[in-house]
Structure 1
């Protein structure tokens, strides 16, 4: 491994550890995205890392997998327990450290994890489940702690399992008790799917999972009296609190006190910090009363009786105002600041600040950092204790309602733009989720729960937590009292599902929105939703697992038409759906079936006109997509490219709503393809790079880079293709290596690039990936023919290239009319000339008529004509034209094909491109 990482590469590596996209890194470092991609490629080689996620492991811990929490104080004793627990982890893949609250499970687990860390190639992941209040968020907590993301098209559990499948690591799941029923099945699946992962859990009760090895953490040893571990802990903590250690004359009394505290570490520590002010006799007297109180009655059977005894004692030493403060701030699930506590407590900030300081002094709160300054956080056991006291005092509803109101205000203030907003959201996300969980179950706060669910759905979408966002929009719909509000939430949920490439979900949610709109008495809105569901079935057919039957879609269009009335938006939506039905009718494998292309064009133009009249840019963009498709079937690539650019202009500057993001990513992809179809390589690559840098696709590398790979392959930009292919393969594997024929052109392009480089092994590897994607018609006569012919011509096998391109374009029109027609006929003409085919002149002439206006294809056809006529000067002239069009590879080929002294220049130019000259 070569680890000579430059200063700039170190900066890039640090930001990779924060899981930023290339575009975000470029903006942060004020460099180009291309430069970032180059640094990432270099780091992959230097660090011998297979993908970006592996690189993140070499980054500083900020933003990636968090390091093990550093204990504020040292571990006292526990030598035997450490050895026993470490031994179990060597022999078993799932060990649960079980014991009462405050016994020291977490501290012991951290110590053992640090001790064993070097034995795990991928280190240790620490997951604090304290903030997790919903069972369904266990996997999300693991993903967050380990620096993982949600994969497109699968749930969070599947994403985590896939990301950890090949890692050798120790995963520490801390404080499992509150979500024990969810942790057990998650761990069972994790161990089955990730054979080299070992799990160390801490819980107050066994998880009752298969193959679980339970290790019961005992209290601190009391053996040895004054020399016991329990006494050693008390002496250490009391000494730290007082600045002087208790003298040996107190050892016997301390041992007795520790015995009455059952050797529970938390109880001993809470007592020790009070020793400087109360003395041993005061501690003994006060604790004696509390233990008697908890020895019987309703608390006798409590699981945490010994910790409760210590906490009750500490609680009763507080002033009444501080007791009430502890109760109320216990509603926070994570760190909180003074302003937040003041709002939840309904007290002046100054008084709250003083009280929080006193609670921190008594170890009932931990001091931490929050945005804006000092913050506080309660340990899980203390927080639960405070909540119990709050409920007993009858104040829980008021405090949680105040917490809910605070969360609503915070959510309303968060804006999904600008630097640092993600950190601000992350700091309060668990609070928002907890408040929503409380409010959703209270009929009196149903309206507030609806508002918070809507706000949180938008925020999680902006945070690229798209699976959670969809679920929240659906939850908001279920909470809405007004069916019109429910319909709006369902539309947003459908848009998010579309962004996730979950066509079945989007279709279902659109129809649910239509039903809600009908319940609200809004027939026009119902018509829009119904027609949109039908349109999506055609526009995004590739994202469906089970596409609806065509007859069902036609019936939806008929229903939407009947209820549309004269509403402009409804009429536009129906027109778009009708255009989709026509597109499907003429999309037969052998060309037009029952409907002529002009009718489809007419329907699309009508849809565009109606959509434009509504003033809704998203509706107009969708209609333009239908027009673009019809134009491509009509053999009008320049018109299609103009339409694609119109879409980009419409949607580029829209607010980043789910619907707008979905439309923009679709528009960028089609604009890149349309530009390639007419030989506008600079524009195509610009659109493709914008798509690759879109935050929505940050974790979806194969979708993000597919168009960039096609554009880079046609331009033969070796460096860009190699860099982007790493991200493509990483994303495809994270998604479970899906069989998606639509990705075939990107993979075929990468295979060709490796062939041009002379790397046959890499080319074969990518051709194997191509085989796993599934059959695609375009592979035969579209991208497959073009990329195969480019490589064959490069190797000098013109006869084989001519045979590969033998079919006449009008015989395979469906697969060459769109992106590939001009490339197909230009290469076909060149292959015929170089192979000395008798039909070469006719092919050159036919190609020249087709490619007029395409700067790359025109120059390639002109080169073929010049070669046929033996006009060396004309061949040379095409080199400058191709270079100006952004196709340096073809420019170099012109030099080489010209022969003579220019051939050496061509070989040198190919070498600078990273291409092996094989002629």
Structure 2
């Protein structure tokens, strides 16, 4: 049998499946949509005759079925329960993680310490390998981590904290290493804790001492929440966390003379350079190691000089440099030997190389020769001297050459970098070099913002810690505040493009603090508020807009302050569901009054004030309460009740007029973001009145306005909100194709690649209503995993999705599965606000099984809830199903219900087809029923088309039942309802 032809793109997807990447991660890696990835996976399953995704992964790796799926060290696979469903806890980057760094030289000695540390790993959850700089802590930790890697099925991960200059960024650095993405509305710490909660992982944290204040609380949270986690840290000082067990590392043993670990290390390193000490020189080597106190770094540096200086030269050099042992009062006993060797190595350098070594110490990450020229290339160094000097420093082990995809980079060990920084201060060059480094970082940051694409994001990962270091230096110097502000703004923009929303907001707020006047501060705070909006943090948006108003008022800009206060009032109402605690009514009234007193008669001021008045007093938004962790936009409610919604209600004319006035003013002001917000108010006013078509039209205008704009934070926030609302509007008017497009665009948005629960929820509902059942059930399983991961928090979007899955199982006749998903829908939906979807989905199931009386009862309001609102998203479905159930149940007044329903849903093709079907059944008109089949097919409702065939009776029943079976549904119980 010939092997099926697999395309190049399918091959790419197959390789990434073998690396345990999710569809979203594959989409990002290959710059294609998630839907395209799903299509390729389905094609591969068919072509390779594999039963499931895991089998494809094994195929990609060349494994036989049943072979172990354990990944290489550093990879965290998806954890599965016995039933094959993902367990709770978010997978940590289902892709190859960073393997333990592979040293270029063999590990020498420390056999006893190595065994003892490995044994301690089994008894203690957190070990700190403690010792002075240069003693060999990192090498020992790496060896032991490799030794015990087999005991950690979910991987061993190495995180170097040297580039981290701010204690509160420890969690972000660990998350970046583990591939845990930031999720809107959630702290990265929480995402990380949930990712590791049920994993058996070894985390190696290197160089903790410089950010101990950040590491200690981070580890305490991490170890408390993740019982299967072990942490192996290296530090020069204790971390002082409750779980800590200290493992001191002494200098290399010199006992035993020639056979000691210290001499073995010297001999191995010197031998690696091609000239090992001979037997006659071993006594001298023993003496050198004694004088170096067994410090591993000092021994390695000395061994590096062996080929050029020999025994006599080394002995003389050390003798001459012993006066530098103390290095001044800043050094303690533990550091004296390392400092001695560094001093000695430094003195052996030519003056130009000394200058280069101290100047490149400002780089916290591996750097290129070009970067070194820009930062260090001034007198006495020219570009040629810099390039030559880097090579010489690497030859003398003072720099390490690191090959990369973009050429050779250089890095200094942390001890050497700190030594160079001291020399830089002593030379009086620190301000000049760090200023040049700051300028280089500013250029790099602006280039990152300019190239905001996949390459730009990769560039951010390479440069980010360098930018943070430069910003930390500049922010503390008054004469550099202007540059610091520029860098903070650039870093904020680059972080937003990289989906690091928490840092983006932080940097915008930092830029506001660094601003020289209130005008610049206010603008930075507005951008911070927009990022907070993308994070679904309503309280933060409100706080930042009020802070922007205060800054503008300090600068004397009363009108701008008025606009900010009006915007704060609008946010408090429009996104009330995203607040931990929304401001009370009296605060809103006072805020609106103050905004009026400050505003001017400009279009911008008028638009902001008009929108705030509609929000606070016009009740245009009327949002459903949403939990703060919900990743979906707030959704407007309709005013019509289940019992009274026989015709579309009309919103208060003054609310619509005020919303339209806000739209017109925003357009005159040339502010598309304000215009989008005003269109949202207009859509909300119509939606609350029950006019789904007018609401959908306003939302379409809004999406069209935003789609072509550059995706700055404020535009992005509006677009995400508009797409989410557009999905529901599509349901409401029966345009399932538009709803699906909006859901697809939302799901594929770069901010939701990792955290698209809202988008996937609405995609699932669209798939269910359109009859794409298998795809909907697969999405449901993924959503259940997401919901478990976020701690079963309620969500406006997960409730309808769970109810839709329950409906599918009900139509399939699997009542046990339906009951399970109904229970999940009750837990997932926002409390006391179903907005009609539960009744709609239940009624569809009851009608399928021939129970119109029960369906009619389900669609009636519960006692005491006659005013229960139904969202315009579900209003038409509720109206037509109630009318149809009345006909099938033979209720008096059914004809009047049909007539009223036809008026209410005029223009909604799918809903009108329901009315036509009910009327044809009432009239016994088979020919008209067959015409309804075509109408349902045209409206992309294959389930309803098949059911209509069954109800048409006669020879058509069998065809309808075959069509239903093809969709996976059980035979309907409509024997007494169909035409004879």
- For the aligned pair, the TM-score class normalised by the smaller chain equals over 0.9
Mapping of residues 261-410 of structure 1, within 5 Å: 261-294=292-325, 298=329, 301=332, 303-347=334-378, 348-370=382-404, 372-410=406-444
CA distance in 2, matches of 1:18, 1:787: 31
CA distance in 2, matches of 1:203, 1:515: 44
2:98 maps to 1:66: yes
**Local SS of the residue matching 2:872:** coil
2:713 maps to 1:662: no
CA gap of 1:69–1:904, structure 2 versus 1, over 3 A, is farther
Report the RMSD for the aligned CA atoms in angstroms: 2.9
Aligned to 2:783: 728
Aligned to 2:272: 240
Aligned to 1:201: 233
**Local SS of the residue matching 1:496:** helix
Alignment counterpart, residue 14 of structure 2, candidates 6, 10, 20? 10
CA distance in 2, matches of 1:897, 1:251: 99
The TM-score normalised by the length of structure 1 is: 0.93
Q: Quick check: 1:679–1:855 contact (8 Å CA) kept in 2?
A: yes
Aligned to 1:260: 291
Aligned-pair distance for 1:737?
3.3
Q: Quick check: 2:770–2:940 contact (8 Å CA) kept in 1?
A: yes
2:75 maps to 1:43: no
Aligned to 2:525: 490
Aligned to 2:460: 425
**Local SS of the residue matching 1:819:** helix
Aligned to 2:252: 220
Mapping of residues 903-914 of structure 1, within 5 Å: 903-914=957-968
Aligned to 1:827: 881
2:738 maps to 1:707: no
> Which 5+ residue runs of structure 2 have no aligned equivalent?
46-51, 58-79, 624-636, 642-649, 974-980
Aligned-pair distance for 1:765?
4.1
Aligned-pair distance for 1:227?
1.6
Aligned-pair distance for 1:699?
3.0
Q: Quick check: 2:324–2:339 contact (8 Å CA) kept in 1?
A: no
Q: Quick check: 1:16–1:56 contact (8 Å CA) kept in 2?
A: no
CA gap of 1:195–1:533, structure 2 versus 1, over 3 A, is same
**Local SS of the residue matching 1:200:** strand
Aligned-pair distance for 1:830?
2.6
What do residues 25-45 of structure 1 show as CA deviations (whole Å, max 9, x unaligned)?
573489726526868995378
What do residues 684-729 of structure 1 show as CA deviations (whole Å, max 9, x unaligned)?
1001110111111223232332322332232232233234334434
CA distance in 2, matches of 1:129, 1:726: 37
Aligned to 1:625: 680
CA distance in 2, matches of 1:542, 1:116: 48
CA distance in 1, matches of 2:638, 2:695: 22
2:112 maps to 1:80: yes
Aligned-pair distance for 1:492?
0.4
Mapping of residues 801-820 of structure 1, within 5 Å: 801-807=855-861, 815-816=869-870, 818-820=872-874
Q: Quick check: 1:26–1:36 contact (8 Å CA) kept in 2?
A: no
Aligned to 2:914: 860
Aligned-pair distance for 1:758?
4.7
Aligned-pair distance for 1:906?
2.7
CA gap of 1:801–1:101, structure 2 versus 1, over 3 A, is same
Q: Quick check: 2:640–2:869 contact (8 Å CA) kept in 1?
A: no
CA distance in 2, matches of 1:701, 1:817: 23
Aligned-pair distance for 1:774?
5.7
CA distance in 1, matches of 2:322, 2:972: 88
What do residues 123-149 of structure 1 show as CA deviations (whole Å, max 9, x unaligned)?
111111010111010101110111112
Q: Quick check: 1:299–1:305 contact (8 Å CA) kept in 2?
A: no
Alignment counterpart, residue 191 of structure 2, candidates 159, 162, 177? 159
Aligned to 1:636: 691
Alignment counterpart, residue 231 of structure 1, candidates 252, 263, 285? 263
Aligned-pair distance for 1:799?
2.7
Aligned to 1:119: 151
CA distance in 2, matches of 1:585, 1:715: 30
2:581 maps to 1:546: yes
Alignment counterpart, residue 612 of structure 1, candidates 656, 667, 677? 667
Aligned to 1:841: 895
Alignment counterpart, residue 181 of structure 2, candidates 149, 152, 157? 149
CA gap of 1:734–1:153, structure 2 versus 1, over 3 A, is farther
Mapping of residues 859-878 of structure 1, within 5 Å: 859-878=913-932
CA distance in 2, matches of 1:418, 1:889: 42
Aligned-pair distance for 1:895?
2.3
Aligned to 1:678: 733
CA distance in 2, matches of 1:18, 1:45: 14
Aligned to 1:473: 508
Aligned-pair distance for 1:542?
0.6
Aligned-pair distance for 1:581?
2.2
CA gap of 1:816–1:76, structure 2 versus 1, over 3 A, is same
CA distance in 1, matches of 2:855, 2:651: 34
CA distance in 2, matches of 1:738, 1:587: 22
Alignment counterpart, residue 705 of structure 2, candidates 650, 654, 672? 650
**Local SS of the residue matching 2:165:** coil
Q: Quick check: 2:360–2:372 contact (8 Å CA) kept in 1?
A: yes
CA gap of 1:163–1:852, structure 2 versus 1, over 3 A, is same
2:891 maps to 1:891: no
CA gap of 1:503–1:801, structure 2 versus 1, over 3 A, is same
CA distance in 2, matches of 1:915, 1:302: 79
Aligned to 1:697: 752
CA gap of 1:534–1:79, structure 2 versus 1, over 3 A, is same
**Local SS of the residue matching 1:214:** strand
CA gap of 1:246–1:762, structure 2 versus 1, over 3 A, is farther
Aligned to 1:796: 850
Matched residue pairs, number?
A: 909
Structure 1 stretch displaced more, 694-703 or 598-607: 694-703
Alignment counterpart, residue 185 of structure 1, candidates 202, 211, 217? 217
Mapping of residues 452-531 of structure 1, within 5 Å: 452-531=487-566
CA gap of 1:592–1:826, structure 2 versus 1, over 3 A, is closer
Structure 1 stretch displaced more, 436-445 or 829-838: 829-838
Structure 1 stretch displaced more, 657-666 or 378-387: 378-387
Q: Quick check: 2:638–2:872 contact (8 Å CA) kept in 1?
A: no
CA gap of 1:127–1:684, structure 2 versus 1, over 3 A, is same
Q: Quick check: 2:217–2:241 contact (8 Å CA) kept in 1?
A: yes
What do residues 42-67 of structure 1 show as CA deviations (whole Å, max 9, x unaligned)?
537877572899776653x2xxx311
Q: Quick check: 1:490–1:513 contact (8 Å CA) kept in 2?
A: yes
More helix as a share of residues: 1
CA distance in 2, matches of 1:410, 1:912: 57
Aligned to 1:879: 933
CA gap of 1:790–1:26, structure 2 versus 1, over 3 A, is farther
The TM-score normalised by the length of structure 2 is: 0.88
**Local SS of the residue matching 1:364:** coil
Aligned-pair distance for 1:317?
1.4
Aligned-pair distance for 1:383?
0.9
CA distance in 2, matches of 1:512, 1:331: 35
Structure 1 stretch displaced more, 477-486 or 882-891: 882-891
Structure 1 stretch displaced more, 843-852 or 512-521: 843-852
